[in-house]
């Protein structure tokens, strides 16, 4: 009986600790949602420079927060006016950020040369058999990135169908309601007008992101001439596969980041649309 009571006490403590963790996670998720919405607001927004605007508690130790009076998104572009970097305590009249220019998504010439040097130094310590093994592994990684890219494109195609197919239908169905709203309510009742303007802003950005996503972007690739003129073709081939993988991985990460941003905007637009239907 004593053992059972001790076990029961431990079980109760365990349950309490789980409840605390669950509550903390709920609170953290709510705060993250608030930070997400705040970072997307066009006025008086709080953003994180290191994560393309979206501040999150998960990265609070790496925050580089910025408060902006005007915070306008244009797809992968972010234009901030009268913006103050909190960590650096520096005020800027304006700041323009482009997602694809982030180091995670682009590989500079300096970075390429550093990687090349490190990779060739690594290959100098490998046997021929090990070089072949790594070559196969790199080819598999390259193939995996192709699959990730296809998944990203499939998802954006799905959203594109929903947006480009659904928006015209909704505009047709709600044309009379929208017309009456603009005539009788717009700019007369502030809350309804704000929701309507935000809905236009977020929906417009959805379309812009789709257009930017499907725009053909050049992907740098290794050159055959480098392999042709190489004295050590085996190592050069491995380097070229490694280089192509690094480039493609960054490009796929960019597409996935754009997709995540799109999903956030899509959810917010949907919520704003439902709110507008209720209050208009």
Q: Which two tokens stand for residue 193?
A: 């007008």
Overall pTM > 0.75: yes
Q: What is the DSSP string of 158-209?
A: HHHHHHHHHHHHHHHHTHHHHHHHHHHTTTTSHHHHHHHHHHHHHHHHHHHH
Name 79's bridge partners.
72, 96
pLDDT in tens, the chain (280 residues): 444 455 445 534 544 553 454 457 787 888 888 888 888 889 999 888 877 767 777 666 667 888 999 999 988 899 999 999 988 888 999 999 888 888 788 778 888 888 889 988 888 888 889 889 899 999 999 999 989 988 888 888 888 888 888 888 888 888 888 888 888 777 777 888 888 889 999 988 988 888 887 775 666 777 777 777 777 888 888 888 899 999 889 888 888 888 888 888 898 999 999 998 888 7
């Amino acid at each position: 009986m004593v053992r059972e009571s001790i076990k029961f006490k431990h079980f109760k403590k365990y349950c309490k600790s789980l409840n605390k963790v669950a509550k903390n996670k709920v609170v953290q998720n709510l705060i993250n949602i608030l930070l997400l919405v705040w970072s997307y607001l066009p006025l008086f927004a709080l953003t994180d420079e290191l994560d393309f605007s979206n501040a999150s508690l998960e990265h609070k130790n790496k925050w580089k927060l910025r408060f902006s009076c005007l915070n306008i998104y244009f797809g992968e572009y972010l234009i901030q006016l009268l913006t103050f970097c909190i960590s650096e305590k520096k005020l800027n009249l304006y700041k323009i950020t482009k997602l694809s220019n982030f180091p995670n998504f682009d590989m500079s010439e300096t970075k390429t040369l550093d990687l090349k040097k490190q990779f060739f130094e690594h290959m100098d310590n490998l046997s021929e058999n090990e070089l072949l093994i790594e070559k196969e592994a790199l080819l598999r990684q390259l193939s995996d990135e192709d699959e990730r890219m296809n998944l990203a494109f499939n998802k954006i195609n799905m959203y594109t169908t929903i947006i480009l197919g659904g928006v015209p239908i909704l505009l047709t169905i709600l044309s009379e309601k929208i017309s009456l709203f603009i005539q009788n309510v717009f700019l007369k009742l502030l809350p309804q007008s704000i929701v309507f303007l935000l809905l236009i802003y977020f929906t417009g950005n959805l379309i812009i992101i789709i257009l930017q996503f499907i725009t053909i972007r050049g992907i740098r690739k290794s050159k055959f001439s480098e392999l042709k003129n190489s004295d050590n073709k085996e190592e050069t081939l491995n380097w070229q596969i490694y280089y192509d993988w690094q480039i493609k991985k960054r490009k796929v990460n960019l597409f996935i980041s754009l997709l995540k941003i799109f999903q956030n905007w899509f959810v917010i637009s949907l919520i704003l649309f439902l709110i507008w239907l209720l209050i208009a």
